[in-house]
Amino acid sequence: MHSITAEADSLRDAGMVGHHQELVSQIEHLREQRAECLQSSIRRSASRIKPSAVRLGPSSSSLWDVAAVAAELKREHCCVIDDFVGADEAAPLREHLGSMRSSGALKPGEVSAGLQQQRRGDLMAWVSTEAGAQAPPLRALLHSIDRLVGALGQQPLVADDLGPQRMLCRHEMQVTCYPGNGARYVKHVDDPHGSRGRVLTLIAYSNPRWEPGHGGALRLHVPSGARDVEPRDRRLVLFWSDARAPHEVLPAHRERYAVSVWFSDAQAVAAGAASK
């Protein structure tokens, strides 16, 4: 793209105005194509979210009480769902995350080097949000999350944030491991200025036999005060990504695994990508 622009400029400078205009319209056409391509990939990812009865995972017959989740999200800006990961899905997920760590795929988090250890002591990897590109344990988790978010979108209480008028896309996914040396993540908001378009954060934990003495709770600062959520196996926590839900990870004294997924406003994502 850049070289075409430079070529157009040099043709104009050389007085070849006709060619210049032709190249400029070619550039405009390419830009439109790029925007359309981005939009359609967002539409594809949005259409995967199918509103339907949401189950507690394939091995369970009980239904989510989606209305209760919506009410809790509205009132408390967060909600904890236990046994979200199916009983038969937990071990493969744990194994998969462990193998990501032992293969060296997880790297120190993103904050700049000096600050890093104090602010955020986890190891992490961004992974593709394309369910089809995932290993089966992550794919299964993404499908359950999609069903939940799709069903929440039908709930009037949270319609302003998650309803159909707001085109949401599953945009980012991260695997994290706090190595257990007292690593923590200081208080923060996931998208403080709304610049990343993040709307909802969902985090699934994969830590069998977690005990309070291991620390590592997610502390959410919500309307009722500070609320500590232990990173128990098969548990999902969801909260707003904006300033309604500041949170931190308290020092973890045992290996602590989590998978985080962000749902974002598709228009904000497209606008951010187009300005890059």
* Minimum distance, C-beta of residue 176 to ligand OGA, in the bound complex (Å): 6
**Choosing among ligand OGA, Mn ion, none, which partner's interface includes residue 249 (Cβ < 5 to 8 Å by kind)?**
ligand OGA
Residue 145 CA from chain centroid, whole number:
11
Assess contact for 237 and 229: CB atoms under 8 A. Answer: yes
**Choosing among ligand OGA, Mn ion, none, which partner's interface includes residue 242 (Cβ < 5 to 8 Å by kind)?**
none
Per-position x/- string for 23-62, each x denoting binding to ligand OGA as judged by CB under 6 A, each - no binding: ----------------------------------------
- Cα gap 271→216, rounded to integer Å: 36
Which of 203, 222, 261, 268 contacts ligand OGA by CB under 6 A?
Answer: 203
Which of 183, 218, 222, 270 contacts ligand OGA by CB under 6 A?
Answer: 218
Segment (H or E) for 187: strand 183-188
Paired strand residues for 257? 177
* Minimum distance, C-beta of residue 125 to Mn ion, in the bound complex (Å): 16
Is the Cβ of residue 86 or residue 109 nearer to ligand OGA in the bound state?
109
* Minimum distance, C-beta of residue 185 to ligand OGA, in the bound complex (Å): 5
- Burial label, 74 (beta-carbon count in 10 A; 0-12, 13-18, 19+): middle
Is the Cβ of residue 45 or residue 206 nearer to ligand OGA in the bound state?
206
Query: Torsion over CA of 87, 88, 91 and 95, rounded to 10 degrees?
Result: -140
Name the region of 29 (left: φ>0; alpha: ψ -120 to 50; beta: rest): alpha
Is the Cβ of residue 42 or residue 258 nearer to ligand OGA in the bound state?
258
User: Which residues, numbered 134-193, are part of the site for ligand OGA (CB under 6 A)?
Assistant: 176, 185, 190
233 is a contact residue toward ligand OGA (CB under 6 A): no
Evaluate the CA torsion angle 27, 33, 39, 42 in order and state its sign.
Answer: negative
Per-position x/- string for 171-210, each x denoting binding to Mn ion as judged by CB under 5 A, each - no binding: -------------------x--------------------
| 80 to 49, 72, 199, 203, 238: CA distances (angstroms) | 21, 9, 17, 10, 7
**Choosing among Mn ion, ligand OGA, none, which partner's interface includes residue 54 (Cβ < 5 to 8 Å by kind)?**
none
Query: Among candidates 182, 179, 184, 189, which has minimal Cα distance to 257?
Result: 179
The residues of the shown chain that bind ligand OGA, judged by CB under 6 A, are: 176, 185, 190, 203, 218, 247, 249, 258, 260
